[in-house]
């Protein structure tokens, strides 16, 4: 009887060992991209990330970044008062652990993407139509036209698709001004809130990135740098881009770093140094943002 019991226990131990090996092998599975075109996001898509933020004061904070896309009514052009823009509402929420000294933040953007039916060669190309802050919408102008409140809005491309190594992105560098009170007076916007400058270059696709969902073998590696410059001391302030999250539209912020993108999903990892120099000194926060989970199918 004891001999039989020992055999049973040995069999169970081997079974557990084999199961552990199988799980480990699955975790180390390599995932390769199958396209160079960025995903056309759908209502209900969600991506979550783990966040580590290290400030130059020596404080390290951890948290979660959540990006979700949802259907929203068409936006109406605030200048002509009639043109309708189909958009998705993109909400990015940064939430730190309760013991953190960093502030939580939410970024709301209204984006439009080309599809295989609207622009087959550029499916996934992403344009920014407006930025949300509270209950208001903030539209974008060419910086040369900020003193002409009746100028047409612009709808800048913020992410080119398809992605390609070695070819300068057609929409970099990128510059636009964010305006307040657009449409409050029919046919015009109010004052400039801030100016946004961005530069990005795809430098390679040979550096693998390991995440909670597996090892991505060949994501596009993008180097970027840019800044937000406040204007006219508006009464409201809000964050407009995750890379400048160490400040708001009321702050002088610069950023630089590296982003890894799997086109089928989007960003899978980002390392970004954000610097806020509003108060005379420079407050720096280095962010490490890594994919944790998503309901978007993997390649």
Mean pLDDT of the chain: 90
Interatomic CA distance for residues 115 and 119, integer angstroms: 6
Quick check: 235 pLDDT over 90? no
DSSP 267-292: EEEEEEEEEE-TTSS-EEEEEEEEEE
Quick check: 206 pLDDT over 60? yes
103-141: pLDDT as tens digits? 899 999 999 999 999 999 999 999 999 999 777 899 999
276-285: pLDDT as tens digits? 998 777 899 9
Higher-scoring residue by pLDDT: 17, 176: 176
Q: What's the whole-number mean pLDDT along residues 1-14?
A: 39
250-296: pLDDT as tens digits? 999 999 999 999 999 999 999 999 999 987 778 999 999 999 999 99
Interatomic CA distance for residues 109 and 46, integer angstroms: 15
Q: Residue 212 — very low, low, confident or very high, per pLDDT cuts 50/70/90? A: very high
Whether the predicted model's global pTM rises above the 0.75 cut: yes
- Quote the pLDDT of residue 28: 60
Length of the chain: 299
């Amino acid at each position: 009887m004891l001999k039989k019991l020992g055999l049973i226990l040995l069999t169970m131990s081997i079974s557990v060992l084999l199961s552990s090996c199988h799980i480990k092998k699955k975790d180390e599975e390599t995932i390769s991209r199958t396209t160079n075109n960025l995903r056309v996001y759908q209502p209900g898509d969600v991506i979550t990330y783990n966040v580590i933020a290290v400030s130059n004061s020596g404080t390290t904070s951890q948290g979660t970044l959540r990006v979700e896309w949802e259907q929203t009514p068409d936006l109406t052009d605030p200048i002509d008062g009639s043109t309708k823009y189909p958009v998705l509402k993109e909400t990015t929420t940064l939430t730190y652990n309760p013991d953190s000294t960093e502030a939580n933040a939410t970024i709301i953007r209204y984006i439009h993407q080309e599809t295989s039916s609207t622009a087959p060669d550029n499916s996934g190309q992403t344009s920014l139509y407006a930025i949300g802050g509270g209950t208001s919408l903030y539209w974008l102008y060419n910086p040369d036209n900020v003193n002409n409140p009746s100028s047409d809005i612009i709808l800048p491309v913020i992410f080119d698709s398809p992605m390609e190594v070695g070819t300068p992105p057609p929409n970099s560098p990128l510059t636009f001004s964010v305006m307040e009170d657009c449409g409050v007076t029919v046919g015009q916007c109010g004052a400039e809130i801030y100016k946004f400058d961005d530069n990005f270059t795809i430098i390679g696709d040979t550096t693998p990135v390991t995440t909670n969902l597996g090892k991505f073998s060949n994501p596009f590696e993008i180097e970027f740098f840019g800044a937000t410059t406040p204007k006219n001391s508006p009464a409201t302030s809000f964050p407009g881009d995750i890379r400048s999250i160490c400040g708001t539209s009321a702050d002088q912020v610069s950023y630089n770093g590296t982003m890894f993108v799997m086109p089928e999903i989007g960003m899978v990892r980002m390392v970004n140094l954000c610097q806020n120099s509003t108060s005379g000194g420079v407050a720096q926060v280095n962010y490490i943002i890594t994919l944790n989970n998503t309901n978007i199918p993997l390649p």
